[in-house]
A = this chain, B = another copy of it.
């Protein structure tokens, strides 16, 4: 019974880290697709997103199994219930990456991308995802707090991109459609950052037993 319990907990950890790596990849690829418009890479984001969805259900089953058939002790219970929330955030990261890859079809004017800070926001949130997964693996509260702090950078970049897009509209030389698509892409990246923050907050909860209440609208 105890051996089976330990095995299931280890499996949960491993699957969770796998799912995290897939999310990192999906976000990195979606950024690359946006800039390079590579059809093969776009399909890879789509397959990754489906793999991530599968992992989501798989991990949920492990969690329910652990909760139902085993009786996790306090610390493990925190880990299992946090895992259930973390997979939801990871699943959303996969969705956003797929949305970005899909949008990239409509942004044909690639020099446009250099006029706004889109690759910067992509880099920042990619690192946030990587760090949140590493914080989870190592149960590293300090790294988790770094992720939470980095969200301000992502938010500021989104505001900056929006201002840059306003200027582009005023210049009147860019297809309006592409400007609106680029705003959506930036928003998706910003949302990826929000989900990395959620994961980091769950890591804090796993380590400390405390979960931050967030302000209105976040």
Given A88-B88, A183-B184, CB of A98 within 8 Å of CB of B64: no
**Is there a chain B Cβ closer than 8 Å to A179's Cβ?**
yes
Q: Is the CB of B99 within 8 A of A49?
A: no
Stretch at the interface among A8-16, A144-152, A169-177: A169-177
Interfacial residues of chain A within 103-146, with CB under 8 A of chain B in the complex: none
Q: Give the dominant DSSP class at A's interface.
A: helix
What 4 pairs between A and B have smallest CB-CB spacing? A169-B176, A98-B217, A67-B67, A46-B216
Contacts of A72 in B (CB 8 A): 68
- Interchain residue pairs with CB less than 8 A apart (6): A50-B216, A64-B81, A67-B68, A101-B217, A166-B177, A180-B180
Q: Give A24-68 interface residues, CB cut-off 8 Å to B.
A: 46-47, 49-50, 53, 57, 60, 64, 67-68
